[in-house]
Amino acid sequence: MKTYLTPVKEVEKNWYIVDATSKVLGRLATEIATRLRGKNKPNYSTFMDVGDFVIVVNAEKIHLTGKKMDEKKYYHHTGFMGGIKEMTAREMLEKKPEELIRKAVKGMLPKNTLGRAQLKKLKVYVGDEHPHEAQQPTTMELS
């Protein structure tokens, strides 16, 4: 018996919306990464993009457990000599809360072109408003 492989054009991609209010960052990121990769679908395959689109609203109301707010550091380099910059999770939450969620999900996706394509299907917004009403997203409930 041969294994059936769904053609790329026949893959159904749904839109989900997640409210990040009072959610723990890591647990939210794992659920989002699972949906982006499509691991919840029966036609999942490791080498195809069969995942769904995920919209995250209220990114500024996310929580971290323990002392991570002050002890977790995010680094980036400016490109100049000695240009490494660091920012705590608390500073990141104040300045760029959508980037905090995006980085957490990015770390859970494959590190190749497929992972970059899957990350583009993640839309993160501060506040309740988002421009994707035309896609009619369904609410994704997290346990």
Global pTM value: 0.92
Element (H, E) at 75: strand 73-77
How many other CB atoms are there within 10 angstroms of residue 52's CB atom? Answer: 23
Position 38 scores a pLDDT of: 95
How many structural domains does the chain have?
A: 1
* pLDDT above 70: residue 7: yes
Q: Could you tell me if residue 118 is inside a domain?
A: yes
Is residue 69 included in any domain, yes or no?
A: no
Residue 54 counted as domain residue: yes
Q: What is the pLDDT of residue 67?
A: 97
133 falls within a domain = yes
Residue 86 lies in a domain: no
The number of C-alpha atoms within 13 Å of 63 and in the hemisphere containing its C-beta is 6
Is there a domain that residue 128 lies in?
yes
- Within-domain flag for 21: yes
pLDDT at 141: 87
CATH number at residue 58: 3.90.1180.10
Q: What is the domain range of residue 123?
A: 12-63+96-139
- Express each pLDDT in 85-99 by its tens digit: 999 999 999 999 999
- Rounded to whole angstroms, the Cα distance separating 37 from 53 reads 10
The whole-number pLDDT of residue 143 equals 67
